[in-house]
Amino acid sequence: VYHLLSLLESDAAGVVAERATDAHLKTLQDLHAELEAAVADREKFFAINERFHMLLLALADNRWRSQMVADLRKVMKLNRHHSLFKSGRIEESLQEHRAIMAALLARDPVATMETMRAHFSNGLEAAV
């Protein structure tokens, strides 16, 4: 499931890097700022993280991909949530989100896809 999520969400992130308007990127930046502020609150961090990923999917504007990801996320939600309880994982996840944001703001689809794939890979390692 993680592999499929990684493929679908990385692809969506690449699309957003190519097509996002300045307003879209600002919305992502604002949500990322909320994520930064929630680092001490795991429950809040998890909820904002979920919103960030779902916003990327919405901005990529492919309803089939969005539906597949929503279904896969339902399967993985509990496991992904527990991965954030591992020591240091929230800070690692935040660093990964910073890299994703930097690639998005650079409008670099390849780097955005690579950073998103790395984010999922690290999340998988933390979940097992």
Asked if 44 contacts 88 with a C-beta cutoff of 8 angstroms, the reply is no
Task: Note the pLDDT of residue 125.
Answer: 81
For residue 128, pLDDT over 80 is answered with no
Instruction: Classify burial at 57, counting beta carbons within 10 Å of its beta carbon; exposed 0-12, middle 13-18, buried 19 or more.
Output: buried
Task: Please tell me the pTM assigned to this model.
Answer: 0.90
| pLDDT number for residue 79 | 58
Q: What is the mean pLDDT of residues 82-110?
A: 88
Per-residue pLDDT band for 83 (boundaries 50, 70, 90) equals low
Q: Which DSSP letter does residue 61 get?
A: T
Instruction: Assign residue 86 a region (left: φ > 0; alpha: ψ between -120 and 50; beta: otherwise).
Output: beta
